Copies of this chain bind each other. A is one copy, B any other.
């Protein structure tokens, strides 16, 4: 059964929500049969590559908060992160475009390294002093390698702005179609949706409910026939004439 998680690297609740989801998943009896796919969602899609500013300044400018409010928000988020065992720098973080990271996450998905990569990206953004947005390509290659990807291949993806760009946009379109206007957004078996960094118990309940109602494909066929007019590795059915 598949769980899709729409998120953004720049989204604190996504960082926290992933940890809560994983707590539930780790205790779920059928965890080995759950496939997790990360999908792209940019909170700030119009931000240009390389254009960066401090998180506190961005919060005051973009969302019209006072600096005290912005600081208090970051302190609160830091406390929520800490409660999940996550490091979170409440001062000195910066903000920028996450488009290239999403492109790289699609490449990592093909290589079976998506979860590894998103984890190191979150850590880099929320816990490390080095900026993820200044001289980003070099740092992203290092992080890709830390996630088990090939350095040259990652460099190539980053150097070509069209690589996996359509995949990122397709994810974002799909989020809108599914009714998500914020992240994290969890979709279980394309049947249940969980919005936000809910407590682990909510994710546990969602996993159980989705698992219980998960059904194999139901076949629809002509009454009274069993064999289909189809081609397989052993050839094509011969028409009944």
Contacts and interface: CB of A to CB of B under 8 A. Distances in A.
A135 interface: no
A60 to B, nearest CB: 11
A206 to B, nearest CB: 4
B231 A13 contact: yes
B79 A178 contact: no
B13 A237 contact: yes
Given A76-B239, A166-B110, A12 B222 contact: no
A204 to B, nearest CB: 10
Contacts of A198: 220-222, 228-229
A73 to B, nearest CB: 5
Interface stretch (A117-125, A142-150, A210-218): A210-218
Interface of A: 8, 11-14, 16-17, 43, 59, 62-63, 65, 73, 76-77, 79-80, 110, 166, 170, 178-179, 181-185, 187, 190-199, 201-202, 205-206, 209, 215-222, 227-239, 241
A13 B182 contact: no
Contact of A230 (B191, B196, B206, B236): B196
Nearest to A45: B233
A72 to B, nearest CB: 8
A221 B197 contact: no
B76 A228 contact: no
A192 B220 contact: yes
Top 10 A-B pairs, shortest CB-CB distance: A196-B228, A182-B232, A193-B217, A196-B230, A182-B230, A63-B235, A76-B239, A197-B229, A11-B231, A206-B220
A113 B159 CA distance: 26
Given A202-B221, A241-B79, A73 B216 contact: no
Given A179-B216, A230-B13, A221 B235 contact: no
B221 A12 contact: no
Contacts of A215: 191
B179 A236 contact: no
Given A209-B220, A241-B76, A229 B196 contact: yes
Given A17-B230, A196-B229, A196-B237, 14 more contacts: A14-B231, A17-B229, A43-B231, A62-B235, A73-B236, A73-B239, A110-B166, A187-B217, A193-B218, A195-B221, A195-B228, A198-B221, A198-B222, A205-B220
